[in-house]
Amino acid sequence: MGSGPEQEHRQFVIDFYGAMAYGELSAFERFSADARFSPTLHDRITIGKLAAEEFAHFELVSAELADLGADVEAAMEPFQAFVDAFHERTRPADWYEALMKAYVSDAVSGDFYRAVAVSLDPPSRALVSRIKADTGQAEVLRVRLAQALSGDARLASRLALWGRRLVGEALTQAQRVTFEHQFLGALLRRTDPASRKAATDALFARLTGNHSRRMNDLGLTA
């Protein structure tokens, strides 16, 4: 199966795709389950379309894993506990929280995948771009959230708090993956522990910064 570094790189890519695939499969299941609680049929269709796209992305990443000769289920398995923990700790209380969760987790995971993909090979970067390119859906969510928040100070206060919790839980799980799987540091191509820590700290600071900017755009305090 090739030389040491090549084999190592192949395993990085499989891990990365495995994490993405399980993330997309889970997002599909959660968003579509939440769709039912939408206030209007129109909103149900909006969330449903988003969920169906997540499944299409899952199938895209699965196909890439299969092309690499990897078993899709085996590749996802190491990341299941982290993604499941994130979802268990962030169960939306209503449709607005579900909408915010979709918006935040789509944006944060997109930032995360893109940051990691920079240190990968061109085909991996192209795959991430394909999956995270359709910002049309993010914009639909943003507009719908802005509409719901408009003039509703109580909802704004609740969703600001909820947004903080979502990003906090997402980063907690991402850090757990980093430490328990040496996943992120390795993907960032750092070999010594201090440099790995600096790289992951910088990445997490960037993810938090982007999140704050998005919350501010919605008129929320991040």
Instruction: Please identify, using beta-carbon distances, which residue of 59 and 169 lies nearer to a copy of itself.
Output: 59
Angle between helices 95-117 and 193-217 (to 10 degrees): 140
Neighbours of 201 (CB within 10 A): 11
**The amino acid at 9:** H
Write out the two tokens for 147. Answer: 């509409």
Q: How far is the CB of 66 from a copy of itself (least distance, A)?
A: 12
Chain centroid offset of residue 47 CA:
16
Among 6, 45, 157, 219, contact with a copy of itself (rule: CB under 8 A): 45
Task: Please identify, among the stretches 75-83, 93-101, 162-170, 193-201, the one whose residues bind a copy of itself according to the rule CB under 8 A.
Answer: 75-83
- Whether the CB-CB separation of 184 and 116 falls below 8 Å is answered with yes
Angle between helices 193-217 and 153-181 (to 10 degrees): 160
**The amino acid at 28:** F
Q: What is the dihedral of CA 51, 99, 204, 175, to 10 degrees?
A: -70
Map the footprint of a copy of itself across residues 173-192, applying CB under 8 A.
none
Site string for a copy of itself, 15-34 (x = CB under 8 A): ----------x--xxx-xx-
* Binding of a copy of itself by 91 (CB under 8 A): no
Q: How far is the CB of 34 from a copy of itself (least distance, A)?
A: 9
The contact set with a copy of itself (CB under 8 A) reads 25, 28-30, 32-33, 35-36, 40-42, 44-45, 48-49, 51-52, 55-56, 58-59, 62, 72-73, 76-77, 80
